[in-house]
Chains A and B, each alone.
Chain A
Amino acid sequence: MKPSEANIIDILKRYSFEKGVWKQYSPNMSIIGDLKINSARIVDIVLDVEDRFDIEIDDDSLESIVTVQDIVDVIEQKNKPV
């Protein structure tokens, strides 16, 4: 597991109230459908990820985030040297 994925899981678990879903965890699980995180928590997750990784998640990038892996991909994309 990449360090960024571990950090993301740490953030997601703050907003996940059905703890049982994590027993089956895989990075391809959808944040809302599989991890049962309320969609209003998008705000908290995005702002926490931006703070933790010192990046800005724009509106288009946010539309690409369905799974945990998608967050990892967005972070890696944002941290790529230009």
Chain B
Amino acid sequence: MIVLGNDLINLNNRVNTNTLCRAGIEKFFTPKEMHLLELTGDVKTLACLWAMKESAYKCLVKLGFRKAFSPAKYHVKTSVIEKPLLGEVTYGEHVFYAKCSEDGDFIRAVATNEESRLSQIKSFHICFHGTENKNEAIAAKIKKINHSDPLELSKTDQNIPVLMNKRKTHRLEISMANEGKLYYVSVLPEWFRITNQKVGTGKIAYA
């Protein structure tokens, strides 16, 4: 099964920069990752590494993993020279391929378990100010980008977003992250047949 995960960090939010600058932050990164921070001297490096780890964690949850996120167990192998930052995130025997980009104060990462799919992922931001239906608005935007039939966005019991066609026969692989009202949505524009739908719930069951 092809899965994707994403993450968004707003470094303009002082809470985030304070967190990444806290004494003890090294506990959540490997020594090699902390060495990358020494090379760049930039808190954005840590934010990128964190976002890549969390994106990989979201992939792992879709594959059936039910434990909580323990960042130091996710090892990022990357170079700090390339931009966007490309790298592999490993958790035990699992390998995920991740990309992290900076846009001003925003750090955005995506990860997938199939390297060839990484460049195919389409991502966008969407901001919600009121009581609009977020799922409907996101589904409508993806429909427009993907030139597809109407889509329906829901969530599984594990809070995993699921984007299906109206007939619920096929789905697009999607991941969402948010910083307050700002949502970061990533989609793999490839239809997957739904084979493991929970009868009567209208929801698909990830592994």
Residues of chain A whose beta carbon lies under 8 Å from any beta carbon of chain B: 15, 33, 38-44, 46-47, 50, 59-60, 62-66, 70
Interface membership of B120, Cβ < 8 A: no
Which residues B1-36 have CB closer than 8 A to chain A?
9, 15-16, 19-20, 22, 24-25, 27-28
Verify A40–B16 contact, CB threshold 8 A.
yes
18 A–B contact pairs at CB < 8 A? A38-B179, A40-B9, A40-B16, A40-B50, A42-B28, A43-B20, A43-B24, A43-B28, A44-B19, A47-B22, A59-B72, A60-B70, A62-B68, A62-B69, A63-B69, A63-B73, A64-B67, A65-B68
Verify B70–A40 contact, CB threshold 8 A.
no
**Nearest-Cβ distance from residue B81 to partner chain A, whole angstroms:** 25
Verify B67–A63 contact, CB threshold 8 A.
yes
Across the interface, which residues of B come within 8 angstroms of A62, CB to CB? 68-70
Q: Which 4 A-B pairs have the closest CB atoms?
A: A62-B70, A63-B67, A63-B70, A59-B70
Query: Which of these, A33, A39, A47, contacts B69 with CB under 8 Å?
Result: A39
Query: Which of these, A40, A59, A66, contacts B19 with CB under 8 Å?
Result: A40
Q: Is chain B's binding surface mostly helix, strand, loop or mixed?
A: helix
A70–B70 Cα distance when bound, in Å, is: 14
Query: Which of these, A44, A50, A63, contacts B68 with CB under 8 Å?
Result: A63
Count of residues in B whose CB is under 8 Å from the partner chain: 21
**Nearest-Cβ distance from residue B200 to partner chain A, whole angstroms:** 23
Contact pattern, B 107-119, Cβ under 8 Å of A = 1, otherwise 0: 0000000000000
**Nearest-Cβ distance from residue A35 to partner chain B, whole angstroms:** 13
Interface membership of B159, Cβ < 8 A: yes
Across the interface, which residues of A come within 8 angstroms of B9, CB to CB? 40
Q: Which of B27, B67, B73 has the most CB of A within 10 A?
A: B27
Verify A43–B22 contact, CB threshold 8 A.
yes
Across the interface, which residues of A come within 8 angstroms of B69, CB to CB? 39, 42, 62-63
Interface membership of B161, Cβ < 8 A: no
Across the interface, which residues of B come within 8 angstroms of A15, CB to CB? 15
Interface membership of B71, Cβ < 8 A: yes
Verify A47–B73 contact, CB threshold 8 A.
no
Across the interface, which residues of B come within 8 angstroms of A44, CB to CB? 19, 22
Verify B73–A43 contact, CB threshold 8 A.
no
Verify A64–B68 contact, CB threshold 8 A.
yes
Interface membership of B54, Cβ < 8 A: yes
**Nearest-Cβ distance from residue A70 to partner chain B, whole angstroms:** 8
Verify A41–B19 contact, CB threshold 8 A.
yes
Verify B24–A42 contact, CB threshold 8 A.
no
A38–B72 Cα distance when bound, in Å, is: 18
A31–B73 Cα distance when bound, in Å, is: 20
A65–B179 Cα distance when bound, in Å, is: 22
A44–B70 Cα distance when bound, in Å, is: 13
